[in-house]
Amino acid sequence: MSRVEQSTTAGSERPAVWHEMADRVVAGGRLSRQQALAVLRSDDAQLLDVLSAAYRVRRHFFGNRVHLNLLINAKSGLCGEDCGYCSQGRRSTAPVARYNLVDPHQVIEGAKLAAQRRARTYCIVISGRAPQPRDIEWLTELVPQIKRDYRLRVCASVGLLDRPQADRLKACGVDRVNHNLNTSARFYPRICTTHTYEDRVRTLEAVRAAGLEICSGGIVGMGEEDSDVVDLALELGRFQVEALPVNFLIPIPGTPLEEQGRLDPRYCLRVLAMFRLTNPRSELRIAAGRELHLGPLQPLGLYAANSLFVGDYLTTKGQPPEEDYRMIQALGFEAVVEGAPEPGPIAPPGRRQPGPRPQPE
Ligand code: SF4
């Protein structure tokens, strides 16, 4: 019987095993696949201990800071790919807006809004399999303006990229590229047939080779198994992604995954804890679906995650930003803006913190 199983079946109120995992991670170690699976499969009685362990890691690397991100859907619909979760793909009959590149003025106004909302990163998203030459041109004209006028980091989400395209994004001032692996290599063919998991991995390699930061995460709730979620987390750990958005599937009517049910909010918390423990230095973002699936448990998610979108998602609404600010404030956390110094490690390795309560910095 493994250590995890022993602790679990012993029914101890505060199983040491989760904190031992946190100790190991804070000291620079890694979780095994089996340990990551154990986090996902832990029972509700241990949820606060699991979350507390994740919080110790979050606090060590990020303090109580929250990174905010604002997203603009700069080109919508019009995509020939068949990603089953997406309302903009060719298999979707969802009534989403379909438009080509928006007016540059709208992008600049979006940057202004991002700065007003205390976002640190402005995410510019263009639908489609891969960017057209015109899309890249458009970005290379707009990004320098945004960087000149606002204290924002810019993340571009433009589909599959090769190295020359990634180099051009880097040269114009893009800080980070978003390209989600979404799920495991095993499960990927079940959600998309028009491109492969390997295509996505190659994009991340091109992005990294160009010297850009990587934002890559996934979607939970598409019918995958726990082991797929763990494999995704370990693969993202291999890339040491700077940002890791965890989406919980919003089953949009008209998409192939419209029948997927609602996730257990406590499972969502375990998912976030597992991503934190396997990717301790990544900006872990609770992305789309947090309102739907976490519901009243949303604040607890921030004990593992340290990043949120403020405002709407790509084709679905988010909660009003004021509610996000209230949640952050109620937790005793603070939003961090671009240019502010990172806190650096603040808890000595091996020391246990009490339960998941906000600590004064
Ligand atoms: S996720 Fe991207 S590539 Fe896939 S269908 Fe949607 S817009 Fe197209």
Ligand 1: nearest atom to the Cα of 192: 4
Is 170 close to ligand 1, i.e. is its CB under 6 Å away? no
- Of 58, 153, 155, 290, the catalytic one is 155
Percent with pLDDT over 90 in the chain? 79
Q: How far apart are CA 25 and CA 48, in angstroms?
A: 18
123 catalytically annotated: yes
CATH homologous superfamily of 57-336 equals Aldolase class I (3.20.20.70)
pLDDT tens digits for range 52-75: 999 999 999 999 999 999 999 999
Banded pLDDT at 338 (limits 50, 70, 90): low
Predicted local confidence at residue 113, as pLDDT? 92
pLDDT digits (tens, 9 = 90+) for 145-174: 999 999 999 999 999 999 999 999 999 999
On the question of pLDDT at 250 being above 60, the answer is yes
Q: Is 74 in the pocket of ligand 1 (CB under 6 A)?
A: no
Q: Which atom of ligand 1 is nearest to the CA of 82?
A: 5
**Residues forming beta bridges with residue 206, ordered by sequence position:** none
Q: Is 86 in the pocket of ligand 1 (CB under 6 A)?
A: yes
Mean pLDDT of 186-206: 97
Residue 155 known to be catalytic: yes
Query: Which atom, in ligand 1's list, is nearest to the CA of 195?
Result: 3
* pLDDT confidence of residue 54: 98
Q: How far is the CA of 80 from the centre of ligand 1 (A)?
A: 8
pTM over 0.75: yes
Over residues 304-320, mean pLDDT: 82
Q: Which of 56, 79, 192, 290 is an active site residue? A: 79
Cα 216 to middle of ligand 1, angstroms: 15
Cβ of 88 closer than 6 Å to ligand 1, yes or no, is yes
Rg (CA), the chain: 20
Active site residue 215: yes
Catalytic site residue 285? yes
Cα of 185 vs centre of ligand 1, distance in Å, is 17
Q: Is 127 in the pocket of ligand 1 (CB under 6 A)?
A: yes
- How many CB atoms are located within 10 Å of the residue 73 CB? 22
Whole-number Cα distances in Å, 133 to 44, 122, 158, 259: 50, 22, 11, 37
Spans of all domains in the chain: 57-336
Please write the tens of the pLDDT for every residue from 122-132. 999 999 999 99
- Per-residue confidence band for 1, with pLDDT thresholds at 50, 70 and 90: very low
CA of 81 to the centre of ligand 1 (A): 6
Mean pLDDT of the chain: 89
- Output the pLDDT for position 339: 59
Task: Calculate ∠ Cα 65-212-197, nearest 5°.
Answer: 100
- Tell me how far the alpha carbon of residue 52 lies from the centroid of ligand 1, in angstroms: 36
Beta bridge mates, 220: 248
The DSSP bridge partners found for residue 122 are 70, 154
User: From the CA of 54, how far away is ligand 1's center (Å)?
Assistant: 32
